[in-house]
A and B are shown apart, each in its own frame.
Chain A
Amino acid sequence: ALQLTQSPSSLSASVGDRVTITCRASQDISSALAWYQQKPGKAPNLLIYDASSLESGVPSRFSGSGSGTDFTLTISSLQPEDFATYYCQQFKNFPLTFGGGTKVES
């Protein structure tokens, strides 16, 4: 199965910091990648689809980039409500795999 490797698995950051999370696919997935945010005890929430398209209602401080095998999620200025775990997911092939997650903590 196609594998997604996220890095780092966790990071410490402060409010106002620029945060970058990477996701590497084991094969070319074009732009078939989404990013989700998940807070404890809650369902995931879609942030980015097609690698770089911002979901409606998501703050513009979130952005995505990349294509092929290397992708990035960037939070331009971390806000208190952004402390959470972030997952990438590919839609190129079944099974629809997720990355292992990146926990953003203070």
Chain B
Amino acid sequence: EVQLSESGGALVQPGGSLRLSCAGSGFTFRNYAMIWVRQAPGKGLEWVSVIGSGGGGINYAESVEGRFTISRDNSKDTLYLQMNSLRAEDTAIYFCAKYATVGVSRYFNLWGQGTLVTVSS
């Protein structure tokens, strides 16, 4: 079955750190760029970061630049998001998704179920 599965969400204090993981299966993980998107409780979707298929092509939202680091291990079919200096406003469900690029077409056509990060004292 083609799927993505996130893990690592937890309750963490402000200023703390957390690492999220996203395991892919059923497709050739190393062939695809990957992204993180988050959704604060009751709010809309916010793109967080992207990483290219080989680990380059990294980009971040301004709201997380300098605090979050995206990475991947293609030998383990796994995407990561290292989150440091966490703030209350980082509280959200974090989704990973497969970033398909076919010619000039771009879209996120496979999503994980999400993992909840709560930043609170």
Binding site for B on A (CB under 8 A): 1, 32, 34, 36, 38, 42-46, 49-50, 53, 55, 87, 89, 91, 94-101
Contact-residue bracket for chain B? 20 to 34
Given contacts A43-B95, A98-B46, A98-B47, contact A49 B62 (CB under 8 A): no
Residues of B within 8 A of A34 (CB): 106-108
10 A-B pairs in the complex with CB atoms less than 8 angstroms apart = A34-B108, A36-B108, A43-B111, A44-B37, A44-B45, A44-B95, A46-B108, A89-B45, A95-B61, A98-B47
- How distant is the Cα of A87 from the Cα of B95 in the complex, in angstroms? 15
**Minimal Cβ-Cβ distance residue in B for A92:** B106
Would you call B109 an interface residue if the criterion is a C-beta within 8 Å of the partner chain's C-beta atoms? yes
- How distant is the Cα of A91 from the Cα of B50 in the complex, in angstroms? 12
- How distant is the Cα of A58 from the Cα of B44 in the complex, in angstroms? 22
Min CB–CB distance B20 → chain A (angstroms): 15
- How distant is the Cα of A95 from the Cα of B113 in the complex, in angstroms? 23
Contact across chains for B114 and A95 when beta carbons are under 8 A apart: no
Residues of B within 8 A of A49 (CB): 105-107, 109
Interchain CB contact (< 8 A) of B111 among A45, A95, A101? A45
Residues of B within 8 A of A91 (CB): 106-107
Contact across chains for B106 and A32 when beta carbons are under 8 A apart: yes
**Minimal Cβ-Cβ distance residue in B for A55:** B109
**Minimal Cβ-Cβ distance residue in B for A97:** B47
Contact across chains for A46 and B107 when beta carbons are under 8 A apart: yes
